[in-house]
């Protein structure tokens, strides 16, 4: 069983992904970490030296490889907003789960994180505007949406695991 977690930065994709993978007794991969391994440099450096276009090409190639492996995958916040990535996510047979968070929750979770290139460039209002522009793109590829504001990461992972089990049971019926 596998799952892909999408959502804006600070929605909990990596934290929940690790817990979900543990609950499913499978591996967890973070797409951003896979890109860093492949490039041999941090994402902020890739953005600064080569630009977003180069990063998105590398992201797509890495996504295609990751989709072939078992386990739970946490994507970057911008991954499903790029058409070729959205198509790959939709065409895969892997359930895509969109983790959402309210505006203030998002700001609180990311405001002091210097590892996120967009946080360094955007003020809070611009960050929330970007989040809102991406919502329809996330919705277009998601099979399940979970609001994370009032739940712990463990509760979210449990909810996803229950949903995945229901999906598997429905397929067997």
Predicted confidence (pLDDT) per residue in 5-28, tens digit: 999 999 999 999 999 999 999 999
pTM of this prediction?
0.92
d(CA 11, CA 169) in angstroms, rounded, equals: 28
pLDDT digit string, tens, across residues 93-111: 999 999 999 999 998 888 7
**Main-chain dihedrals φ then ψ at residue 63, nearest 5 degrees:** -60, -45
Would the annotation count 77 as a binding residue?
yes
Would the annotation count 15 as a binding residue?
yes
Would the annotation count 134 as a binding residue?
yes
Task: From 84, 80, 66, select the one nearest 29 (Cα to Cα).
Answer: 66
Would the annotation count 53 as a binding residue?
no
What single-letter DSSP state applies at residue 146?
A: E
Would the annotation count 115 as a binding residue?
no
CA distances from 132 to 11, 55, 103 (A): 13, 22, 9
Class of domain 3-172: alpha beta
Cβ distance 142 to 86 under 8 Å?
A: no
pLDDT digit string, tens, across residues 33-70: 999 999 999 988 998 899 989 999 999 999 999 999 99
Would the annotation count 56 as a binding residue?
yes
Who contacts 124 (Cβ-Cβ below 8 Å, separation ≥6)? 107, 111
């Amino acid at each position: 069983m596998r799952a892909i977690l999408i959502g804006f930065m600070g929605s909990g994709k990596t934290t929940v992904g690790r817990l979900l993978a543990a609950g499913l007794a499978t591996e967890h991969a973070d797409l951003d970490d896979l890109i860093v391994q492949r490039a041999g440099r941090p994402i902020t450096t890739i953005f600064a030296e080569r630009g977003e276009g180069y990063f998105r090409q590398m992201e797509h190639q890495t996504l295609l490889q990751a989709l072939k492996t078992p386990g739970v995958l946490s994507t970057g916040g911008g991954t499903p907003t790029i058409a070729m990535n959205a198509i790959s996510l939709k065409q895969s047979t892997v359930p895509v789960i969109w983790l959402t968070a309210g505006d203030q929750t998002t700001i609180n979770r990311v405001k002091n994180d210097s590892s996120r290139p967009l946080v360094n460039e955007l003020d809070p209002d611009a960050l929330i505007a970007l989040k809102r522009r991406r919502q329809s793109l996330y919705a277009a590829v998601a099979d399940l949406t979970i609001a994370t504001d009032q739940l712990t990461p463990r509760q979210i992972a449990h909810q996803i695991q229950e949903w995945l089990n229901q999906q598997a049971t429905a397929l067997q019926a």
